[in-house]
Amino acid sequence: MKNSYKAHRDRRRALLASMREHSGGGLALIPTAPEVPRNRDSLFPYRPDSYSYYLSGFPEPEAVLALVADADGDREILFCREKNEEREIWDGFRYGPDAAREIFGFDEAHPLTELDAKLADLAADRPALFTPLGLFEPWDRRIIQLLNEVRARVRTGVSAPDEVVDVRGMLDAMRLVKDAQEASLMRRAGAISSSAHRRAMARTRPGWFEYQVEAELVHEFLQQGAQAVAYPSIVASGPNACVLHYRDNNREMSAGELLLIDAGCEYQGYASDITRTFPVSGRFEGRQKDVYELVLASQLACLDAVKPGAEFHDYHKAAERVLAQGYLDLGLLKGTLDEALESGSYKQFYMHRAGHWLGMDVHDAGLYQVKGASQKLAPGMVLTVEPGTYIRPADNVPEAFWNIGVRIEDDVLVTAGGHENLTAATPKTVADVEAACQR
Ligand code: GLY
Ligand code: MN
Ligand code: MN
């Protein structure tokens, strides 16, 4: 087995242990994502499903993992495409079962074409079947078909699994706490995205279109070995910064405006997610600086609240307090802090949460609340810290603030002693941002 896939085997073993604990054993079946047509005979670039990739590291489509937790011992099986010289000439390399077993560390590997013939035997006499339910519709139908097939053999003395468990719950809990290999991939993803943001700051100029900045980001992602964007890049200038999920990226930028960029690469299956806001001309002007300093203060307050034992919700509350007080100080709101927090009046300018879990998916797996109580932060969890302020033109807002949109977002790994900021190399103070914008 290749060394880098030992972590995946450890994850499979951890899942097998959870299956025993849950139901005394059983069969887990984990399919990967289907290929998705883009138009006519073109496909979207392939991305394996996160659950499958988490457990195998196997990058090809048309693969199914089967994990058996049995009294006789465990079996880790991969079903995948066979070698095929003709298809490999047209579409590229395939591992095939033999190499896949060897490299990815499975006990057995078989051609996917044998899955149907082997599935009913694998599922017979198991107390439980663990599989994602509701993730891929054709797979759900196949699982029902499998259960009926095993049930139809009842007169031969076998029984069908009594229980079908949506395995995503167990896997989500595992994925919430990153292992050392995941942390190191996420560190790299953060570093690459950081240099992409620095490149954008250094190259953006008045008269450019937003998509030209997007091109600079993608340039750096791919130059440094990332495979893709983790999500569509948001390159939002002027009033577009107040559109939270702006995606058009086609506006011409002018001096005197701010540019908000929310962009991150995906590196070996792991996302990064950085937002920075900087002046198109390189210098903050007028009220832009006041709003920027306020969002920065709130982001630093949030970061202080990220440590083991703290509640996930703590840093969201920190953001709301600092921002609401700032809006009062800037004259954007009237009354007292308690009134603003109580009434939610601050939501006119700050209407999202302060962050989310980050991992293989940009909004990653894992519960935020457990039985009504906030999830407690623990070493290995990774989250984003991303307060913002978005001031749309309105009668109750002085014109000097109109169309200012600022978000500052970092990716943070919770450690035993507090946290590690995986995107700390992205300029953030006014002085550092302005210096990074000099060209
Ligand atoms: N870029 C997606 C998010 O910040 O949640
Ligand atoms: Mn983001
Ligand atoms: Mn985010």
* pLDDT tens string 255-297: 999 999 999 999 999 999 999 999 999 999 999 999 999 999 9
Which protein residue has the closest C-alpha to ligand 1 atom 5?
A: 363
Task: State which ligand 1 atom lies nearest to the alpha carbon of 384.
Answer: 4
Give residue-wise pLDDT tens across range 154-168: 999 999 999 999 999
Exposed e or buried b per residue across 381-414, where buried means at least 16 C-beta atoms within 10 angstroms of its C-beta: bbbbbbbbbbbeeeeebeeebebbbbbbbbbbbb
Instruction: Indicate left, alpha or beta for 71 from its phi (over 0: left) and psi (-120 to 50: alpha).
Output: alpha
Measuring from atom 4 of ligand 1, which residue has the nearest CA? Answer: 273
**pLDDT of 388:** 98
Q: Contacts by 213-217 with C-beta closer than 8 Å and gap 24+?
A: 213/249, 213/259, 213/261, 214/249, 214/263, 217/261, 217/263
Tell me which residues are annotated as active site.
Answer: 41, 245, 262, 273, 352, 356, 363, 386, 390, 407, 409
Q: HSE-up of 400 (CA within 13 Å, CB side)?
A: 10
Give the DSSP H/E element, type plus range, for residue 279: strand 274-279
Please report, rounded to a whole number, the percentage of residues in the chain having pLDDT higher than 90: 99
pLDDT at 54: 98
The pLDDT assigned to 439 comes to: 75
pLDDT at 164: 98
**Pocket perturbation via mutation, ligand 1, pick of 273, 352, 364, 412 by most ligand atoms within 8 A of CB:** 273
Q: Kindly report the protein residue whose alpha carbon is nearest to atom 3 of ligand 1.
A: 273
Give the ligand 1 atom nearest the CA of 409: 4
101/229 Cα distance (integer angstroms): 30
pLDDT the model gives residue 143: 98
Cα-to-centroid distance, 271 and ligand 3 (Å): 10
State which ligand 1 atom lies nearest to the alpha carbon of 264.
Answer: 1
Strand positions, DSSP E, 9-84: 26-31, 37-39, 42-43, 64-70, 73-80
Q: Decide: 124 and 160 in contact? Cβ < 8 Å.
A: yes
- What's the rounded Cα separation, in Å, for the pair 231 and 211? 15
Are 132 and 121 spatial neighbours (Cβ–Cβ below 8 Å)? no
Structure confidence at residue 352 (pLDDT): 97
Ligand 1 centre and the CA of 32: distance in Å? 24
Question: Residue 60 is which amino acid?
Answer: E
- Over residues 53-89, the pLDDT tens digits come to 999 999 999 999 999 999 999 999 999 999 999 999 9
Low-confidence ranges of the chain (pLDDT < 70): none
